[in-house]
Amino acid sequence: MGGIRHTPRGRRRRTGATLVALAAATALTLTACGDATEDNGAPGTAPPTGEETTGTAPGGEEDGDTGGTTGDGAGGDAEEPSDEAFRERAADIEEEWPGVESLASSSDELWRLEGVVEPDPSDTTVTTLVGHGDCDLEWGARVHETEDLIILGGWSVEDPDVEMCTEVLLIDEVEVELDAEVGDRVLVDAVTGADMLGEEFHTTR
């Protein structure tokens, strides 16, 4: 067991997405696409409120050895960001757990997931909640499995043809396939280094 696996990619679709207004007075304010964040939320958005395994997205096709899949949606093909940052972070978490410090910020290559649907111990999939900006063309998640941990992180690719976008955070469910049952392993967010089912994760930004 071990190594990094890629999960399904999403594209700019709105079916099944949860639109999170970040501020009532500014939810529809236009902003330049691609602004860097100063917190641990998805890149290109304002702060929200609140071994690689192949996954299957509705209407997606597997991309081969990378284990990635591409979901239906508008826009052309986009190259998935490098997984180097996730690999390095996963190795650090595996070595330092449970005394893991949160990263200072997120990036397109690695950012904080918005949550996870609590799985049963017998499940061999985990449903992550991937946040992404309104300007993003594609997004997805990665997973690194160890005997004790399931480390998860998100990524996105901005749409190069979009110059302006609304200041909102969109959230999509992305199902991650595992090499083994969840069992009693801890689901860890790669950016915060926190247990995704624990109180600390929901209060850490």
Domain ranges (residues) in the chain:
4-72+80-203
At residue 2, the pLDDT reads 59
Q: What pLDDT score does 13 carry?
A: 39
State residue 5's pLDDT score: 55
The Cα–Cα gap between 51 and 103 comes to 22
Residues 60-93 pLDDT 10s: 333 333 233 222 333 346 678 899 999 999 999 9
Token code pair at residue 181? 């049952």
> What is residue 69's predicted lDDT score, i.e. its pLDDT?
28
Low-confidence ranges of the chain (pLDDT < 50): 11-38, 44-76
* pLDDT of amino acid 6: 54
